[in-house]
Structure 1
C-alpha cells in the first residue's frame, strides 16, 4: 500500500492505521475528538470563545449548547457549523457568532476572562504525530480521513435525501469508488470540506471519504458480496461485485429491528428494494441497479450484533482487527486515487 496514515473518526473512537513499506501496519484506537473536546467544554467554567473547524457534533454540540445556557459562548461561523449548518439555528440556541476573540468579543467582555477552544476532527493529529515520532515512525504527508457528513442541504430539502442523492449519482456514474473519494473541497459536505481545508492549510495531502463508504471499501474483495455496516447512528448495506456497487441502502440503526434488517437485506439481494420504501420508513434511501447472488455477507460496525445470525454472515476483520474496517478502506482508497 502507498505511504499514508488513515484516521477513521467516529463518535466514540478514532481508529488509526499506518501502513509500513515492509507490509506491516501500525494500529491505534484512541478516544474520538468529539469525546475529548466534549470533556474540555464540560471542564471549562465561565465564558467561552470557540474557533477552529467544522467537525462532528452530537454530544459535543449538546455540551456547547448546555454551556451557552449558563455562560456567554462565542463561536466563529466555521466552528459553529459543528452545531448546525443553519447558522440562524445556532444563534437561536443562544450562541453569539464572532470571527475574532480579540477584536470583537473583547467589546462585550474582558477577553482575559474568556477561555478559548479550537475545534476540529483532527484535533488529535499533533499528539498522534508525537506518538509516532516516539516510536521512530515517520508521519507521512498523505493523510486519509473518514467522517460522516449529511451535507448542507438547500432549504426545504431533507438532509437525508440530500446525502443519499450524492451516493446515487456516484453509483450511476459507474466509476466505482472514485467519485466517493475526495481530495478537493466539495461545496456540498461541510465537515468533509473542513477536514480537507485543515489538511491543506497544514501542508498535508488529503484523501477523505464518508465513514460508511470507507467501511464498505475496507470489506470488498474480487467476489460478489453484501457488506453491512451497523453503526451507532447509521446502518448501511451495499451489494458489490468487486469494486462495483450494485445496490446500496442507508437507514438509522435505532429504527431497525432484526426482522426489518433481514427483510431489507433480502430485498437488496433480490434487487427489489426501493428508495421510497426506505425513505418513507425514516431512512436515507436506497438505490439498486440489479439483483446479486452474493458469495457471502460481511458485517462490520459497533452494532453488528443487531444483524440476525440466521442470514449466515461473517464479521469483517481486516488485518485481524474489527476496529480497522474504515481505516483499511481509506488505505485502499489511496490505490483507487493516484497520489
Structure 2
C-alpha cells in the first residue's frame, strides 16, 4: 500500500511516499520549496520584466506570494485574479480589490493580452510531483493521499481572522480533546476551511481514492508524539515552531489540557519560554496572546503541570536552543522535517480503519525486508 503524505508550509513542502513494504526510514521523501515561495519567485520575475500578472486556479497559502503581489502593485504594474485565486489573500474580495488587485471572471481572464504572465495558484502540483518521482523510476500509483495545510478559515467581514482561526481550534477540541480533532476525511471538511477544501479539490483532479486532510501544526505535534522518548512521557508539552506560526500543546496521556498559537516572527526565546511557563502553570489567557498579535490561548486544565519534557519540532526549532525548560528536539523515525508527514500517516490510519493495519505496523516499527532482499536475481 502506498500513501502520499504532503505537509505544505510557508517555507517548504515536505513529502513522504509511504510504502507498506518498506521500513519508514527507507521511504522516498522530498523536501522542496513551498508552493507559495514558487509563486512568489514567478511574480518577482514578472516584476523585473515589467509585465502584468494574472492569477488563476484555487485558494492556496499566502504569505510570500501575497508580499510579492503587493510589491508588484507598488511597482505600478497590474495584477489580475479570478475570484477563487484572489481569496488566497483574503476571503473578502472587497479587501483584495482595496489592495489594487483587479478581480476578473474566467472569460475576462481568457481575453487578457498575451503579455500577461499567467500563474495558476494551487498548493498541490500533481504534474511536478509525478515528474519528480518518475525521474527516479517511482510511479505514483497510490492507495491514499494525506495532506496538511494551515487554514485561517473564511472569517466573516469585519471579524478578526486570528480570532476566527482560534475559534476553530477551540471548537474542534470541544468535540474531542486529542490531536485527531484536527483531522478530516476529504469529503468531511467544514465549509469554513476554504484552503483545505481547495487542496482536496486539487487532489481529486488526479486521485479518487481515500484522502485525509489536517491542519499543519497539529499534524506536526501528532508526529512528534511518535518519537519513542516523547511517547514515553505521560505529561508533556509539544511545540511546533513553524516558519510563520508557533503552536504549543500541553498534554496528559494524549489528552489536550491547553494550547496557545502565536506568530513565530513575533517571538524570541525569552517570550516563548514565558508563554510555555504560563501554559504549564495553567494560567495563560487568550487575551495575553491575542493582544500581542498572536491567535490566542485556551486552558482546559488550570492545575499546574510539571512536564516530563518539552518536545520541539519545526524548521524554527532553534528558537528554543538554550531554553530554561527541559527541551528535547524530537526526531520521529530519525527525520524531524517529516514530522508532519508521520502525523498525517497516523491520522490517515485513524480516519480509514479498514486501511490501518499495515500503517500501524509500520509506525510501531515492524521490520520489513531490506529493498535488495526482494530483488529478483534470476
TM-score in terms of structure 2 length: 0.82
1:205-240 per-position Cα deviation (integer Å, ceiling 9, x unaligned)? 432211111111111236331101122222211012
SS at match of 2:170: helix
Please list every run of 5 or more consecutive structure 2 residues that lacks an aligned counterpart in the other structure. 226-230, 356-378
CA distance in 2, matches of 1:104, 1:257: 47
- Match of residue 16 from structure 1: 15
8 A Cα contact 1:177 1:336, kept in partner: no
Q: Does the alignment pair 1:104 with 2:108?
A: yes
8 A Cα contact 1:16 1:324, kept in partner: yes
Match of 1:324 among 330, 334, 338: 338
CA distance in 2, matches of 1:323, 1:209: 17
In the TM superposition, what are the counterparts of 1:205-220 in structure 2 within 5 Å?
Answer: 205-220=210-225
SS at match of 1:311: coil
Q: Does the alignment pair 1:240 with 2:254?
A: no
CA distance in 1, matches of 2:4, 2:33: 17
CA distance in 2, matches of 1:105, 1:230: 39
Q: Does the alignment pair 1:309 with 2:320?
A: no
8 A Cα contact 1:3 1:20, kept in partner: yes
Please list every run of 5 or more consecutive structure 1 residues that lacks an aligned counterpart in the other structure. none
CA distance in 2, matches of 1:3, 1:246: 35
Match of 1:91 among 86, 93, 97: 97
- Match of residue 294 from structure 1: 307
- Match of residue 136 from structure 1: 137
SS at match of 2:114: helix
8 A Cα contact 1:146 1:209, kept in partner: yes
Mean Cα deviation higher: 173-182 or 76-85: 173-182
8 A Cα contact 1:6 1:17, kept in partner: yes
Q: Does the alignment pair 1:147 with 2:161?
A: no
- Match of residue 162 from structure 2: 160
- Aligned-pair CA distance for 1:99: 2.1
- Match of residue 193 from structure 1: 197
Q: CA RMSD in A?
A: 2.1
8 A Cα contact 1:146 1:210, kept in partner: yes
Match of 2:85 among 71, 76, 79: 79
- 156 and 117 in structure 1: CA distance in 2 versus 1, 3 angstrom threshold: closer
- Match of residue 52 from structure 1: 57
- Aligned-pair CA distance for 1:105: 4.1
- Match of residue 70 from structure 1: 76
- 106 and 177 in structure 1: CA distance in 2 versus 1, 3 angstrom threshold: closer
